[in-house]
């Protein structure tokens, strides 16, 4: 937490925890399998309902629906897992960039805080550099 510098609080305090990468590839893979399974169950149920009008018993319609569900799972699951892998990789890299950016900002703000404490003459330069980096981020 960054506190404003004013007459009542002349020292800036930085509090926080270490930033980690929250992307979990195993969870993304499990979600992709669950999505593919749900889609195949729905496909099997719809095929069973439609197949019942063309067959004489629910047993045959159920077998047709089961086959359709298995085929859907076989063809859809690899595609879902591939997309989930790509998305999780992209999220992971994005979070790494975000984490590194936050580490750089934390280091810069810590340097500014140390300069305030020690009254270094190059404080103005550090504040200008910080302002420039924040303006580039907004652009």
What confidence score (pLDDT) does residue 130 get?
Answer: 74
CA atoms within 13 Å, Cβ hemisphere of 102: 13
The pTM is what? Answer: 0.55
53-62 burial: b if 16+ Cβ within 10 Å, else e: eeeeeeeebb
Mean pLDDT across 6-21: 50
Per-residue pLDDT of 106-133, as tens digits, reads: 888 887 777 666 665 566 777 777 777 7
Q: Which of 29, 38, 33 is nearest to 85 (CA)?
A: 29
| Pairwise CA distance, residues 18 & 117, whole Å | 23
Model confidence pLDDT, tens digit, residues 43-85? 999 999 999 888 888 899 999 999 999 999 999 999 999 998 8
Pair of tokens at residue 107: 């280091």
Distance CA 13, CA 3 (A): 6
Question: CA 40: distance to chain centroid?
Answer: 26
Count of other CB atoms within 10 angstroms of residue 39: 16
């Amino acid at each position: 937490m960054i506190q404003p510098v004013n007459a009542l609080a002349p020292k800036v305090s930085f509090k926080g925890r270490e930033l980690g990468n929250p992307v979990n590839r195993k969870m993304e893979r499990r979600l992709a399998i669950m999505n593919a399974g749900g889609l195949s169950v729905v496909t099997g149920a719809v095929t069973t309902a439609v197949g019942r009008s063309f067959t004489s018993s629910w047993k045959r319609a159920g077998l047709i629906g089961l086959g359709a569900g298995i085929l859907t799972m076989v063809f859809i699951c690899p595609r879902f897992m591939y997309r989930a892998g790509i998305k999780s990789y992209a999220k992971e890299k994005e979070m790494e960039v975000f984490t590194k950016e936050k580490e750089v900002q934390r280091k810069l703000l810590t340097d500014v805080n140390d300069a305030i404490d020690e009254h270094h003459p190059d404080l103005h330069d550090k504040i200008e550099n910080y302002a420039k980096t924040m303006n580039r981020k907004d652009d």
